[in-house]
DNA sequence: GGTTGACTTGGAGTTGACTCCAGCGAGTCT
DNA sequence: AGACTCGCTGGAGTCAACTCCAAGTCAACC
């Protein structure tokens, strides 16, 4: 039912140092301890860790997440502020996704250019059947 | 036809310091100078800057781009190595986009929860018609 | 011909996000 | 009891990617 830091580390793929660091800066709520002061992660803690980890992977700043967690700990009264943070972050992620998708298309065109223009030129060179200069790099600078 | 660093800065939204830094570390090919040693950016340089800027925005590491630029300057013989870098980076961007899209869906569900469960509770409080505890935070921890 | 202002360089400093470590304590095995 | 292993804390160190700065050069204007 509850996990040590080693188990959490394995389950979520974060280092023990990172988990302690996250807790220290308030990126996850304080974790319960046993008599000896050793952390005892509950399923609830696990859900937070997963959420934070995914948000970080999506490029959300630690700063914004700390604020969200802090508001959460202040109770129901902060619900709309928290919701607003989520909406803002959602918008930022969506914007990044959009620009990354544009980049994917751009890369696809560029890769295709390599297939159509540059690689055949190389093959000709390899065949040792060179009959003059072909498709120079200068054509591909964007 | 050619631009000063100030014009490039305005056009591409990078600081002059960043532009010089990029050139110094080989993230863009060397830029031509006038008699006095002042940088003279051509349209060709502009294309590189735009490409690099977009790749950086998409999360591609400076490291990988330096390698790409270095290969480019070695001429046609490195075409397939360059193509491979683009393919690798494309894959990494695509993976990031996929996980960000999952996060978008997750956020949408979470935001909807705020609308359905938490916000109505707040409204009831505001109406001062409280008839017992409603929808506590604990229900929303993932 | 002096002042202004954009530009230059090399190097130091900053920021965000970890990552590592020394020194200590608790629990377990032998 | 001694030796291991795991975990704890506070603080220092690292890394990527800039960002800032002092001191100097140069062209242009007054």
Q: What's the per-residue H, E or C state across B19-30?
A: HHHHHHCCCCCC
Q: Provide the 3-class DSSP secondary structure of residue A35.
A: coil
Q: Which nucleotide is nearest to A21 (CA to C1')?
A: C18
Q: Which nucleotide is nearest to B52 (CA to C1')?
A: D17
| Phi (first) and psi of residue A10, to 5 degrees | -65, -45
Task: State the CATH number of the domain containing residue B40.
Answer: 1.10.1660.10
Cβ separation B114–A58 shorter than 8 A: no
pLDDT at A135 (0 to 100):
45
Give the minimum alpha-carbon distance from B19 to chain A in angstroms, rounded to a whole number: 17
Cβ–Cβ contacts within 10 Å for residue B37, how many?
6
| B75/A106 Cα distance (integer angstroms) | 22
pLDDT at A29 over 50: yes
| A66/A23 Cα distance (integer angstroms) | 10
How is B61-97 classified by DSSP, letter by letter?
-HHHHHHHHHHHHT-GGGHHHHHHHHHHHHHHHHHHH
| Phi (first) and psi of residue A3, to 5 degrees | -120, 150
CA A29 to C1' C12 (Å) is 38
CB proximity list for B77: less than 8 A, separation 6 or greater: A122
Option in B55, B96, B111 nearest A90 (CB) = B111
Is A66 inside any structural domain? no
Q: Look up the domain containing A44 and give its range.
A: 1-60
Give the minimum alpha-carbon distance from A76 to chain B in angstroms, rounded to a whole number: 6
Cβ separation A104–B82 shorter than 8 A: no
| B122/B137 Cα distance (integer angstroms) | 12
For chains A and B, what is the number of CB pairs under 8 angstroms? 127
How many structural domains is chain B composed of? 2
What average pLDDT does the segment B41-68 reach? 98
Is B117 inside any structural domain? yes
At A53, list the tokens.
């980890």
How is A26-48 classified by DSSP, letter by letter?
TSSPPPPB-TTS-B-B-HHHHHH
| B107/A136 Cα distance (integer angstroms) | 47
Give the minimum alpha-carbon distance from B7 to chain A in angstroms, rounded to a whole number: 19
First and final CA of chain B: distance in angstroms?
Answer: 55
Same domain, B80 and B142: yes
Residue among A85, A83, A136 at smallest CA distance from A113: A136
**Band of residue A134 on the pLDDT scale cut at 50, 70, 90:** very low
Q: Which nucleotide is nearest to B35 (CA to C1')?
A: D26
Same domain, B93 and B139: yes
pLDDT at B22 over 90: yes
Same domain, A16 and A50: yes
Q: Is the CB of B21 under 7 A from strand D?
A: yes
**Band of residue A117 on the pLDDT scale cut at 50, 70, 90:** confident
| A39/A6 Cα distance (integer angstroms) | 10
Same domain, A48 and A93: no
Q: What is the mean pLDDT of chain A?
A: 89
pLDDT at A30 over 70: yes
pLDDT at B1 (0 to 100):
76
Q: What is the pLDDT of residues B67-123, one digit of tens each?
A: 999 999 999 999 999 999 999 999 999 999 999 999 999 999 999 999 988 666 666
Q: Provide the 3-class DSSP secondary structure of residue A96.
A: helix
Q: Kindly state whether B22 is in contact with chain A, defined as any CB-CB distance less than 8 angstroms.
A: no
CA A70 to C1' C17 (Å) is 19
pTM: 0.87
Quote the percentage of chain A above a pLDDT of 70: 82
Q: Which residue has the tokens 């298309």?
A: A105
Q: Which residue is nearest to nucleotide D27 (CA to C1')?
A: B36
Q: Which residue is nearest to nucleotide C27 (CA to C1')?
A: A36
Quote the percentage of chain A above a pLDDT of 90: 80
What average pLDDT does the segment A114-126 reach? 72
Is B66 inside any structural domain? no
Nucleotides of C under 7 A from a protein CB: 6-10, 16-21, 25-27
The overall longest dimension of chain A from CA atoms, in Å, is 82
Q: What is the mean pLDDT of chain B?
A: 89
Residues B104, A94 contacting (CB under 8 angstroms): yes
Of the listed ranges A138-142, B45-49, B51-55, B111-115, the one predicted with least confidence: A138-142
Residues B64, B89 contacting (CB under 8 angstroms): yes
Same domain, A51 and A80: no
| B28/A88 Cα distance (integer angstroms) | 34
pLDDT at A125 over 80: no
Q: Kindly state whether A117 is in contact with chain B, defined as any CB-CB distance less than 8 angstroms.
A: no
Q: Which residue has the higher pLDDT, B29 or A119?
A: B29
Q: Is the CB of B63 under 7 A from strand D?
A: yes
Q: What is the pLDDT of residues A90-107, one digit of tens each?
A: 999 999 999 999 999 999
Same domain, A55 and A108: no
Dihedral (Cα; A102, B46, B53, A114), 10-degree rounding: 60
């Amino acid at each position: 039912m509850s996990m040590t830091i080693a188990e959490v580390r394995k389950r979520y793929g974060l280092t023990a140092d990172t988990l302690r660091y996250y807790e220290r800066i308030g990126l996850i709520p304080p974790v319960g301890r046993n008599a000896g002061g050793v952390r005892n992660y509950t399923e609830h803690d696990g859900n937070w860790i997963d959420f934070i980890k995914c948000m970080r992977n999506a490029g959300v700043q630690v700063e914004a997440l700390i604020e969200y967690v802090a508001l959460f700990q202040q109770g129901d009264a902060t619900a709309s502020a928290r919701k607003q943070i989520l909406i803002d972050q959602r918008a930022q992620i969506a914007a990044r996704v959009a620009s990354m998708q544009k980049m994917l298309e751009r890369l696809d065109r560029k890769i295709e250019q390599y297939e159509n223009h540059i690689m055949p030129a190389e093959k000709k060179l390899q065949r040792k059947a060179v009959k003059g200069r072909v498709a120079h790099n200068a054509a591909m600078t964007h």
